[in-house]
Structure 1
Amino acid sequence: MLSKKLSFFLLLAPFVASAPAGSLEQRQGIDTSTHCGQWDTILAGQYTLFLDQWGKDNANSGQSCANFVSLSGTNVAWKNSWTWSGGNGVKSYTNVNLNANLNRQLSNVNRIPASWSWSQSTQGSIVSNVAYDLFTSSRSGGSNENEIMVWLANFNAGPISFNWGADGKPIPVASNLSIAGHSWNLYIGSNGANQVYSFLPTSGTVGNFNGDLNLFLRYLTQNQGLSTSQFLTTVQGGTEATSGTATITSSTFSVSIA
């Protein structure tokens, strides 16, 4: 005769097997409350939402607030509202950071499939960007040495660059690069700690990105001297905000490393 516990399990099994996709995730839940702390972090699946307001003290006033909206598999929806006034430089980089399969040498990274659909509302003029941000190091888990940015939008901001024209605009080291279904200009410079490679759209914004971020790394290793022995330590996407007021809504955000 079956024990009571086993009988209960067999009675429950059909219900569990027929439960709709995502129901377990819904029972577990994620933190969808709004966070505004300077260094707040929120976990959801394989991601961390960072309230990285590292330049906050340079502003006369303002803050950045963000929250997760939903999580389905590896796809997360999230929102960030920010307002900054006064001061110089970037005030915040609110971002979603990948926590899985990092610290692999670039030679051992096959793909970094990523998708990001976002929209933004603003009040008046703003200075910001929307970008993926990747870092590499010469050792696993080591200090950042190279920063690779893939800008999906540039709102009156500008990339770090060694080369500048007489008009005060940065000069790309390569133009009209066809990578991951879009056209980009590449700028190279230094932030004082890292060599910075910035891919910017040749025109307009990329509100829907669906491609392989590893293609940008391969371009750099094949054409710009980035070593394939470097370790990929960070993969994240978010918005660098300098001044103004805006809300960015990401309905789809997914990234992984294969």
Structure 2
Amino acid sequence: MRRRSILTAALAAPLATAGAVGALQSPAQAATWSSSDRWGTWQSGSYTLYNNVWGGGYGPQSIWANSPSNWGVWANHPNTGGIKSYPNVSRTLGRQVSSMGNVSSSFNVTNPTGSGLAYNTTYDVWGNGHAHEIMIWTQWTSNVGPIGSYVTNVNLGGRNWNYYQGHNGGNPVYSFMATSQFTSGTVQITPICQWLVNQGRMPNVRIDQVQFGWEITSANGGKNFNVNSYSTQF
């Protein structure tokens, strides 16, 4: 698994201090698989789950899974800037944008609330290995934001998105932020990729990994992030 090498969100304002440190949530104790290893990985059919604690200054994080559609994370990252982790579920497509077919993904998540939180719920779609990064933000806290600058608003796949474009020093990043945040629904990935190519903003790359999870900057005091259902359709 590749370690994510850049920050795609920043802590924009200090957060309140959270309460006492929590414990690993109970579903992890009886799950089919669980891991507290920062690089913990689990393969299930065509899906791979990653704990993926890749950033600096991180705290403890544990991932559990019964299946790619039923998994979650307990994280206790300090209230400091910089992304600490991107726990995610991944499936590899391996098709050029021009012939990628109808790729969509459906999800239902339960996100934590309270103080000491900075995170975003996002798809991370990679082109030509890790040469191009398409981020599709479905929900986020107010103290994080995308790389780059606002370009335009666009309706793709039946949803409105604010589009941002930037570069992280290693690869271009194309970010689509839902104008109406949501924690369950379906995202049409093909129209987003093809819009980028048709607009001349991205080459006709091969779409490889389609990932979904949370970029967690802080989860002070211990927070639970749960995937209640998930699937990616090719």
Q: Same fold (TM over 0.5)?
A: yes
Residue equivalent to 1:14: none
How far apart in 2 are the matches of 1:211 and 1:85?
31
Residue equivalent to 2:12: none
Structure 1 SS opposite 2:83: coil
Query: What is the Cα-based RMSD across aligned positions, in Å?
Result: 1.9
Q: Is the 8 A contact 1:54 1:92 kept in 2?
A: yes
- Number of matched pairs: 202
Amino acid at match of 1:111: N
Structure 2 SS opposite 1:92: coil
Q: Is the 8 A contact 2:53 2:87 kept in 1?
A: yes
Residue equivalent to 1:185: 162
Q: Tell me which structure has the larger Cα radius of gyration.
A: 1
Amino acid at match of 1:49: L
CA deviation string 1:72-123 (max 9, x = no partner): xxxx211112121154310000000114xx3221111011121011111234
How far apart in 2 are the matches of 1:207 and 1:87?
25
Residue equivalent to 2:188: 212
After superposition, the Cα gap between the structure-2 partners of 1:117 and 1:82, relative to the gap in structure 1 and judged at 3 Å, is same
Counterpart check, 1:36 vs 2:36: yes
Residue equivalent to 2:124: 133
Shift of 1:224: 4.2
Structure 2 SS opposite 1:151: strand
1:241 aligned to which of 205, 216, 221: 216
Residue equivalent to 2:84: 91
CA deviation string 1:183-218 (max 9, x = no partner): 110000111111000000124x21112132111101
Q: Which runs of 5+ in 1 are unaligned?
A: 1-30, 138-142, 164-171
How far apart in 1 are the matches of 2:202 and 2:185?
24
Residue equivalent to 1:166: none
How far apart in 1 are the matches of 2:179 and 2:65?
31
1:113 aligned to which of 101, 104, 108: 104
Shift of 1:144: 1.6
Q: Is the 8 A contact 1:98 1:256 kept in 2?
A: no
Residue equivalent to 2:3: none
* Higher share of residues assigned helix: 1
Counterpart check, 1:154 vs 2:136: no
Residue equivalent to 1:250: 227
Residue equivalent to 1:11: none
CA deviation string 1:99-158 (max 9, x = no partner): 4xx322111101112101111123413111000001111xxxxx4211000001121210
1:144 aligned to which of 130, 136, 145: 130
Counterpart check, 1:174 vs 2:165: no
Scaled by the length of structure 2, the TM-score of the pair is 0.80
CA deviation string 1:55-76 (max 9, x = no partner): 1x323xx1221111346xxxx2
Residue equivalent to 1:8: none
Runs of 4+ in 1 over 4 A off after TM superposition: none
Amino acid at match of 2:70: A
Structure 2 SS opposite 1:198: strand
How far apart in 1 are the matches of 2:114 and 2:79?
16
How far apart in 1 are the matches of 2:72 and 2:89?
10
Residue equivalent to 1:63: 60
After superposition, the Cα gap between the structure-2 partners of 1:111 and 1:195, relative to the gap in structure 1 and judged at 3 Å, is same
Structure 2 SS opposite 1:49: strand
User: Structure 1 vs Structure 2: percent identity of aligned residues?
Assistant: 29
Residue equivalent to 2:53: 53
Amino acid at match of 1:150: I
